[in-house]
Amino acid sequence: MSMTPSYVHGANGPPLIGKTIGVYFDEAVAARPDDLALIVRHQSVRWTWAELKAQVDALAAGLVALGLAPGERIGIWAPNCWEWTVTQFATAKAGLVLVNINPAYRVGEVEYALNKVGCKALITAVRHKTSDYVAMLRDLAPELAVSTPNSLKAGRLPQLKLVVTLGDAPHPGCLSFAEVCALGGVEEHARLATLADQLQFDDAINIQFTSGTTGSPKGATLSHHNILNNAQYIGLAMRLKPGERICIPVPLYHCFGMVGGNLVSLVHAATMVYPGEAFEARALLETIEAERCSVMYGVPTMFIAALADPEFERFDLQCMRTGIMAGSPCPVEVMRQVVERVHVDEITIAYGMTETSPVSFQSDTTDPLERRVSTVGRVQPHLEVKIVDAEGRITPRGEQGELCTRGYSVMLGYWDDPEKTAEAIDSGGWMHTGDLARLDDEGFCNITGRIKDLVIRGGENVYPREIEEFLYAHTAIQDVQVFGVPDKRLGEELCAWIVLRPGQALAEDALREFCRGQIAHYKVPRYVRFVETFPTTVTGKVQKFAMREVMIAELGLTVAKTA
């Protein structure tokens, strides 16, 4: 075991950007007004940076005309669309704090989010998939039907005054997006120019709710400085070139989409390309081919779904070069297939969390493939990382512990939650991630699991990631998730949910035989379920806690009470 401490500092890279997003946006547009900025396939939008700026300025001026002041919160509740992007840049120019609301949220979750951070305004889609957003808002605020726009007084949403709807259809008590964009005049546009000089890059600009597995979501509050700089270094790791097209199937409400996608495109003069409102494997493949995208983002489940498309082979993906796989650990075998079949020879793996803007580790396009398939790369510029044991001491290189991050990327805090903030960010400024990791002697990081995912079976610590990696080697297995379920005798037992490759069959006994003699007996899953899909968040993150709940109910297990 190396005695070198598990501490790294990203000392290389260009300097930090000391500007607000609004100022940076205007300067970037001035440098390339006629380059293509945004392609939205499902809305038939193809805009240059100058055309995007015209939309952004119109919305920003309209929001100012409605009396929204710097520091006030404005929610956006919508799937991927051009209005989302315009709102992102317009709120930054107006100094408003954009609150990202998950498109999958239902009434109770939306009520909690709007009230937790005190949203004064909400921009909302009318509907998406099975969600009727306007109907849900009417349930929450029946007063909307008889209120004057921008003067809502709702008992359950006391701070919300304004609802703005996407699309042309009128809705009682609401303004349409187009109506807001038409409100700004000379005075409001002049106000935006004044704000450009007044707003500070350390100001809060964005609140993203973390999808915790227990308790209420926390509002991670991020600054211009946090997310603009993170975008700079994300794109640098991919060696992005001006004019490259980035296929963005990940949701904009999540940091992967709005920072990794939109802000990376701004900083590196790339083109944002949205294949659809939400992820669909076929739309993704069609978009890459039609738009000749050279960059693609996704979580592992998205890449797995694309590779599994029955018509995958008919798509010409030779245009692809690089991209990012992130969001959850990527199985080594999946990574190899992506490189070989999607032609992303220079794909990178990124690791981070919403609270760190989000990326803190990323592989480089030139790293050897074996490094890119087995690690999350090295620390990003201008960040520090240490790995600590249960007592908070830095571990030697190669020894597992909790990953902690410090630097420009660490959030301002959880909105209106000083206790949770203090639990996450210690007195030294270190963000405790809750992720288990190891650093090797060259500074490459391997994420080994979540502290909360750890399964303790009969006193043995079992890390699900290790078992998942082993099971992926089975030729019949397309995807697998391993987690713990309660057991009266051993405390916890292992359960595996498995998605088989099309046309493949596998029996439980055959699976256990595959494990026998290859992994320790206590790592062999006791329970095995073959399923079509896993429960996931909108971003594609697998929800092990939901699978655990299903198994507890199905097997009639009892959860041991803890003190």
| Average pLDDT value for residue range 241-270 | 97
Answer yes or no: is pLDDT of 432 > 60: yes
Answer CATH for 21-200 from 3.40.47.10, 3.40.50.980, 3.30.930.10, 2.60.120.20: 3.40.50.980
pLDDT of residue 1: 54
pLDDT of residue 130: 86
What CATH class is the domain 7-15+216-450?
Answer: alpha beta
CATH 3.30.300.30 segments of the chain:
462-555
Edge-first strand order for the sheet with 527-530 is 477-487, 491-500, 527-530
pLDDT of residue 474: 95
DSSP strand E in 50-198: where? 73-77, 97-100, 119-124, 127-128, 131-132, 162-165, 175-176
pLDDT band at 563 (very low <50, low <70, confident <90, very high): very low
CATH 3.40.50.980 segments of the chain:
21-200
Identify the three-state secondary structure at position 270: coil
pTM: 0.87
Tokens of 424: 């996450």
pLDDT band at 215 (very low <50, low <70, confident <90, very high): low
Identify the three-state secondary structure at position 443: coil
pLDDT band at 495 (very low <50, low <70, confident <90, very high): very high
CA 113 to chain centre: 17
Scan for tokens 């079976």, then name that residue.
457
Residue 457 vs residues 143, 414, 485, 547: alpha-carbon distances, Å: 54, 34, 10, 18
The DSSP line for 308-361 is H-TTGGGS--TT--EEEE-SSPPPHHHHHHHHHHS--TT-EEEEE-GGGSSEEE
Answer yes or no: is pLDDT of 213 > 50: no
Task: Output the average pLDDT for the chain.
Answer: 94
> What is the C-alpha separation between 445 and 386, in angstroms, rounded?
11
Answer yes or no: is pLDDT of 2 > 50: yes
Determine how β-strand 245-247 pairs with β-strand 271-274.
parallel
Considering only CA atoms, which of 240, 266, 234 is closest in space to residue 86? 266
pLDDT of residue 290: 98
Tokens of 445: 């990081």
pLDDT band at 164 (very low <50, low <70, confident <90, very high): very high
The residue with greater pLDDT, 541 or 68, is: 68
pLDDT band at 488 (very low <50, low <70, confident <90, very high): confident
Phi-psi group of 239: left, alpha or beta (phi > 0 → left; psi -120 to 50 → alpha; rest → beta): left
Answer yes or no: is pLDDT of 302 > 60: yes
Considering only CA atoms, which of 256, 394, 226, 401 is closest in space to residue 324? 256
| Average pLDDT value for residue range 24-50 | 98
| Average pLDDT value for residue range 514-521 | 87
pLDDT of residue 137: 97
CATH 3.40.50.12780 segments of the chain:
7-15+216-450
534 and 543 Cβ atoms separated by less than 8 Å = yes
| Average pLDDT value for residue range 426-449 | 94
Identify the three-state secondary structure at position 17: coil
Answer yes or no: is pLDDT of 446 > 50: yes
Return the percentage of the chain with pLDDT > 90, whole number.
Answer: 82
CATH fold, domain 462-555, is GMP Synthetase; Chain A, domain 3 (3.30.300)
